[in-house]
Amino acid sequence: MRKVRPLFELRAPIADSDAVTIEYGGQTLHALAGEPLSSALLRAGILATTRSPKYRRPRGPYCLRGECGSCQVRIDGEPNIRACTTPVRDGLKVEAQNQWGPAGLDPTPIVDSLFRDGIDHHHLVVRPRLANAVMQRVARTMTGFGVLPDAASTAPATSHEHRPQVLIVGSGSAGRAAACALERAGIEALTIDRLDRRTLETSPGALPAGLLSGVGVFAAYPQEGLWAAAAAPLSTAAGDLALHIIRPQHVILAVGGREPMLPIANNDLPGVVSARGLVHLLRRGEVRAAAPVIVIGDGDHAEALAQELGAQRFASDEVRRITGGDTVDGVELADRRVPCRLVALAPTPAPVHELAAQAGGRLRFDGHGFAVVTDDVGRVESSEGGAREAAPWTLWACGDVRGWRGPAASAADGETTAAAIGATIRAELERAPSAGAER
């Protein structure tokens, strides 16, 4: 992908102690130690580092929070690493993937012009066999996610086992409110969040005392009684690799919501980002936008984000399409085109429901996504045939994972759920004091 004018710039010169260099496609880039790699690349005018696996559309950072996977790069020979959740450190060797060369020399437009109705790979060049083998090889090279690592990982891995009374997954408004309430009640809670501490500190409210940041849960295993989490799962293999095995009595899912895509043409062009992700990036205080931002979205949620970004906002039905070639160059309305290089989409977030579903929780469609179904205090209802009955924990959910409610209501939700868990634990202790004391 060719370089374009940077979308971000540093707020202050980099102090010598924080200055590092990284390599991208053979070029040396100067960066700030610890800043997200995607921020360093965007500051250098590198907006796209990969192409989509099927249609080979250029892809650059969208969510800026490790949720969409569109910022993937190859780092030190390891493919499919999210740039937005990888902190920069000196000497990183970063490469584009799924595209031919960092300059974006890509044959896709030629292929598109030759096969205007698309490619039916089941029938294309089936014979002679040799030609078919060549075609298959070209097709495999052009699609998919990166290529295999240069070598097997030699990073040392460790594992840690935790047995907290309560595991809280997510430390947004709901999670940190629940954690603080449990702490006040003297109940031992372990909070984990996939985002790094620096990013988490930019949101209002104190961080929980027992917080493991930069740790994402990748699975719940009800039959085995454990939740497994990995440290630095979204980061480079050379980071600290640690498996956390967690055996809780209660689990609170406070994983919040993520932005679905607004159905607007060219919503995937590099230069289109999530408004909420952009707010989080800018709150870190390392960079500011180097171009005016246009927010597209509806309602109070979008308006609040536009105000924080100091951006002009258009309702989603005002926008005919986002314009541009390899990157955004404007927004087309019914009566005019507004030039811009940075578009932030602000749809209502949809619940991050996957962990709840895997753990046997019931879901319902709420108009934006699949919300976790709970009772009034956050106890998760079991899905029909769900695995929850076999689980050794009680499953709770609070905040936006129950349906979008915003930070204030989510915090209240977290407190309600924590109070209910406190009451449950006290009741259990009263029923079986000796069993409780052994835990």
Binding site residues, ligand FES, CB under 6 A: 61-64, 66-71, 82, 84
Tokens of 27: 């070029």
242 contacts 158 by C-beta, under 8 angstroms: yes
Q: Which is nearer to ligand FES, 69 or 292 (CB)?
A: 69
- Strands 293-296 and 312-314 come out as parallel
Q: How far is 284 from 282, CA to CA, in rounded Å?
A: 5
Q: How far is 358 from 351, CA to CA, in rounded Å?
A: 14
Closest contact distance (angstroms) between CB of 150 and ligand FES is 22
According to DSSP, residue 402 is labeled: G
Q: How far is 59 from 97, CA to CA, in rounded Å?
A: 10
Q: Which is nearer to ligand FES, 38 or 173 (CB)?
A: 38
Identify which of 205, 161, 187, 163 has the alpha carbon closest to the alpha carbon of residue 417. 187
Residues belonging to the chain: 439
Q: Which is nearer to ligand FES, 208 or 347 (CB)?
A: 347
Q: Which is nearer to ligand FES, 192 or 273 (CB)?
A: 273
Q: Which is nearer to ligand FES, 281 or 418 (CB)?
A: 281
Q: Which is nearer to ligand FES, 60 or 208 (CB)?
A: 60
Closest contact distance (angstroms) between CB of 211 and ligand FES is 22
In 204-314, the DSSP E strands lie at: 211-213, 215-221, 226-231, 241-246, 250-253, 257-258, 272-274, 287-289, 293-296, 312-314
According to DSSP, residue 390 is labeled: G
Tokens of 352: 């991050």
What end-to-end distance do the CA atoms of the chain give, in Å?
56
Q: Which is nearer to ligand FES, 29 or 71 (CB)?
A: 71
SS3 content of the chain, % helix, strand, coil (to 5): 30, 30, 45
Q: Which is nearer to ligand FES, 46 or 373 (CB)?
A: 46
User: How far, CA to CA in Å, does 89 sit from each of 192, 236, 430?
Assistant: 23, 10, 52
Q: Which is nearer to ligand FES, 38 or 249 (CB)?
A: 38
Closest contact distance (angstroms) between CB of 375 and ligand FES is 33
Closest contact distance (angstroms) between CB of 273 and ligand FES is 8
238 contacts 76 by C-beta, under 8 angstroms: yes
Closest contact distance (angstroms) between CB of 83 and ligand FES is 6
Tokens of 304: 């609040």
Q: How far is 439 from 427, CA to CA, in rounded Å?
A: 15
Q: How far is 368 from 404, CA to CA, in rounded Å?
A: 8
95 contacts 149 by C-beta, under 8 angstroms: no
Q: How far is 36 from 124, CA to CA, in rounded Å?
A: 42
Tokens of 58: 């250029």
Identify which of 398, 392, 391 has the alpha carbon closest to the alpha carbon of residue 421. 398
Identify which of 327, 347, 329 has the alpha carbon closest to the alpha carbon of residue 339. 329
Closest contact distance (angstroms) between CB of 59 and ligand FES is 9
Closest contact distance (angstroms) between CB of 38 and ligand FES is 6
Q: Which is nearer to ligand FES, 65 or 402 (CB)?
A: 65
Q: Which is nearer to ligand FES, 256 or 361 (CB)?
A: 256
